[in-house]
Chain A
Amino acid sequence: MAKSKVSALKQIDYPKQEETALPATGVTVAPEQLKYATLLMYGAWSGIVTLAATFFLYMSGAITSFIPPSQMPQYWGMKASKYLELTGAPHGFGWAGMLGYGDYMNYIGLALLGTLTIAGYLILLPAYLKKKDRPYTVIVVAEILVLSLAASGILKVGGH
């Protein structure tokens, strides 16, 4: 079995790529993979800090909320559709116009976390184009389109 695995590995045509060796391990990592990792690291921390800051403002009442946190126990046990109906809360991308409220200010951090992956793929795309790695270029472009469609708010769900 080990012999067949070694021979199988030799038959694979790996795309030509620059690789960065991890010190002391002998393992090589593609540079675009490292760039993606760096983006996630800084983006995730930015998301944490943003969420912590906006949540503090929300909980402290320093900024007026659309629905004060103390009133949330009245709503958090009901279906989302009922909640929207009773409160008049926005759906779709309507939250973007509510960022002046303390509760919806938290959506800034949530949206940041939700767009990190799209940003990461935009880093990968030129790398795969440069290497003329057609299959992965197509995969990356398709993924950007899928994620953008999901984030756009164009897709709607029917009744709950």
Chain B
Amino acid sequence: MIDILSAKISFLWGSVSPMLAAATTTIGATANSAAGTTGTPWWVWPVMLFAATFVMGIVAVLAGVGGGVLFTPIIGGFFPFHLDFVRGAGLLVALSGALAAGPGLLKANLANLRLALPVALIASTFSIVGAFMGLALPTNITQTAMGITIMLIALLFVFSKNTEYPNAGAPDGISKKLGIAGSYFEATSGKTINWTIWRTPQGFLMFVLIGIIAGMFGLGAGWANVPVLNLLMGAPLKIAVGSSKFLLSITDTSAAWIYLNQGAVLPLIAVPSILGIMFGSFVGVRLLAGTKPKAVRYLVIGMLGFAGLQSLLKGLGVFN
């Protein structure tokens, strides 16, 4: 029976994989050829950007990461734009996605102000530092470092365990002083979940690093917010995802203004991307409350791994 099953799977994969490979190659080849072909209408690129970011918007909310972590390596890899403009647009894309998702998350208490405000202050301050560093570094170094960072986070999710409801210890002094705790309604189980956090000083230190990297790479930082809030500080996964999405709106605002004021934002790139991600995010928020935490985690792993590998190969010059 096992032999029959494996034979069927092999036949199915043999039928599907060539088509998947062809589709991926076609998308990349089309984008690359369009970039170098004078006959390609200039308006094709805004249209493609809108379509791509709409899909990213849905996935980003479900995965609890900003659109920037998907946008910057994917658009930077397949579109003919310089990484400066891609990062500037990426921060605005992540910002707009967070703003679109914020109201629903705040009203459902899936995003908690008492948790988000302190860490957002730290991250937003140091994202300014990161923005300065990012615009000063050579492009290939930034691209390579960004790819490595994203892949490491994907690996972190692969090897983490029991993250839906972490076994957090007793709240520490800082979390008690700030009153960082709350409750939310878990729609999939029909129960109200009370939560608190611990290891707050360590978490705060991590958000220093997160802020710097977010500003440097123009990613948005959701890829780091969720594991720190969930794995290190012990917040339930849905609270970590919701609060991460909300605090992106704060962290990315400061870095985005740096890029905007440095001329690294082109409306032809940024606006269709923002419109696409915002519409996609609205759809994603409607799906989050009824999504099981485990499904969200698997989605994060897949999307981060793909985005990281793509960015790394481009930074090393394997892709142009």
Contact = CB atoms under 8 A, between A and B. Distances in A.
Same complex for A and B? Answer yes
A49 B7 CA distance: 53
A11 B181 CA distance: 11
Interface in B178-199: 178-179, 181, 183-185, 192, 194, 196
B253 interface: yes
B95 A37 contact: no
B264 interface: yes
Interface residues of B, number: 76
Interface of B is mostly: helix
Contacts of A146: 121, 124-125, 128, 254
A138 to B, nearest CB: 9
B13 interface: no
Interface string A49-88: 0011011001100000000011011011111110110000
B103 A157 contact: no
Interface of A is mostly: helix
A113 B99 contact: yes
B106 A76 contact: no
Given A136-B117, A159-B136, A160-B84, A27 B109 contact: yes
B31 interface: no
Nearest to A43: B99
Interface of A: 1, 4-5, 8-9, 11-15, 22, 25-30, 32-34, 36-38, 40-41, 43-44, 47-48, 51-52, 54-55, 58-59, 69-70, 72-73, 75-81, 83-84, 89-93, 95, 103-104, 106-107, 109-111, 113-114, 116-118, 124, 135-136, 139-140, 142-143, 146-147, 149-151, 153, 155-160
Interface of B: 42-43, 46, 80-82, 84-85, 88, 92, 95-96, 99-100, 102-104, 106-109, 113-114, 117-118, 120-121, 124-125, 128, 131-132, 135-136, 139, 167-171, 175-179, 181, 183-185, 192, 194, 196, 249-250, 253-258, 260-272, 274-275, 278
